[in-house]
Amino acid sequence: MPLLEPTPRDYRSGFVALIGRPNVGKSTLINQLVGEKVAITSPVAQTTRNRLRAILTTPSAQLVMVDTPGIHKPKHLLGKRLVQSAKSTIGEVDVVLLLLEACYLPGRGDSFIVKLLRQQKIPVLVVLNKSDLVREEDYLQKESAYRELISDDKWPIYRCSAANGEGCSVLIEDLVDYLPVGPKLFPADMVSDQPERVILAELIREQVLIQTREEIPHSVAVTIDRLEEITSDSSRKVKKNCTAILATVLVERKSQKGILIGKGGSMLRTIGQGARLQMQNLIDGPIYLELFVKVVPDWRCKPARLSELGYEVY
Ligand code: GDP
Ligand code: MG
């Protein structure tokens, strides 16, 4: 039996929540810190629906990062659930990373979040993200504006780029100081606590958002109906091992179904190809992906339907 590597006595482990307005780069930062794509990102706001835990294991610590949906003013039932989920996350972690955008001056949404965090007695580190998009002199101006916003709080500010990794290693080192001493909470090689099915569905949803842009905004959900490893079998004429994935994309209106399928099925093919490329980073070997589109009117406003799709209130 192999000897288990002993955990150092001063090993640290704990939870880090990423909080911020939609689109500030929370999911991108998680992927950058973990070094693998576990969270979906997109130029369209409000991409993240499920609370995802991504795990970063180093020789001295294990950080479990919780990606939260962006905090914003809820417009419909789904929006309300997303905000509740973000708020309850703050109460369950050791330290919060507050993400702000270095390329903009603070806005009303930012002060809403700062006030919300102030009410909780929890350490906060501020990440001024997207530093790659600003010039040096502009950065200093933006930083002092954000310093003013968080004036009463002793929150340190980090200049970061989730896209190119600038500032990320210092950030990880400093985060570790806020975690309690304790053993690993997850196996060292685990990078996400989401089941494979959820990540696969998210990769499809990401492609829908990227390929259709504003046309199919947030009224889409994806379910994985079948996930099967097919082994080579001469009787079934399958030559190679592959993973077969059958998935359904749910939309609210018939017109959206039309856009998703596209002329002669061209849009759905593009979405499928994009998703398959991303899936290949996750699953070894070839992937057979088949997508269906189904109209379920107003699924976002029906609590039972939301729960069925896995959007639970925690
Ligand atoms: P979230 O809603 O906070 O999770 O934001 P995402 O991680 O989905 O990012 C929103 C958009 O900003 C995506 O298009 C990202 O590629 C982009 N983005 C995130 N971080 C950076 C960064 O540091 N630099 C640049 N240039 N773009 C970024
Ligand atoms: Mg996100």
Decide if 32 is inside a domain. Answer: yes
Are the CB atoms for 94 and 66 separated by under 8 Å? no
Residues 112 and 163 in one domain: yes
Asked if residue 142 has its Cβ within 6 Å of ligand 1, the reply is no
The residue nearest atom 20 of ligand 1, judged by CA position, is 25
Asked if residue 70 has its Cβ within 6 Å of ligand 1, the reply is yes
Asked if residue 272 has its Cβ within 6 Å of ligand 1, the reply is no
pLDDT digits (tens, 9 = 90+) for 254-277: 999 999 999 999 999 999 999 998
Give residue 118's domain range. 12-176
Which bound ligand lies closest to the C-alpha atom of 159?
1
Digits of tens for pLDDT over the chain (314 positions)? Answer: 445 566 788 999 999 999 888 789 988 999 899 887 666 665 554 455 555 678 899 999 999 988 776 555 545 555 566 566 666 777 789 999 999 999 999 987 788 788 878 887 789 999 999 999 999 889 999 999 999 999 877 899 999 999 999 999 999 999 999 999 999 888 887 777 766 777 788 889 889 988 987 666 667 888 888 878 777 665 555 556 788 899 999 888 899 999 999 999 999 999 999 999 888 877 767 889 999 998 888 777 666 666 666 554 32
pTM of the entire predicted model: 0.69
Are the CB atoms for 79 and 1 separated by under 8 Å? no
Which bound ligand lies closest to the C-alpha atom of 166?
1
Which bound ligand lies closest to the C-alpha atom of 25?
1
Give the Å distance between the CA of 241 and the centre of ligand 2: 33
Strand ranges (E), the chain? 12-19, 52-57, 61-67, 95-101, 124-129, 157-159, 221-230, 242-251, 287-295
- Testing ligand 1's pocket by substitution, the residue of 19, 23, 42 carrying the most ligand atoms inside 8 A of its CB is 23
CATH number at residue 257: 3.30.300.20
pLDDT digits (tens, 9 = 90+) for 29-61: 998 998 876 666 655 544 555 556 788 999 999
Number of domains, the chain: 2
Q: How far is CA 1 from CA 4, 7, 44, 187, in A?
A: 9, 18, 50, 18
Q: How many CA atoms within 13 Å lie on the side-chain side of 305?
A: 17
Decide if 314 is inside a domain. Answer: no
What is the number of the ligand 1 atom nearest to the C-alpha of 99? 3
The residue nearest atom 25 of ligand 1, judged by CA position, is 130
Asked if residue 27 has its Cβ within 6 Å of ligand 1, the reply is yes
Residues 21 and 123 in one domain: yes
Decide if 187 is inside a domain. Answer: no
Asked if residue 194 has its Cβ within 6 Å of ligand 1, the reply is no
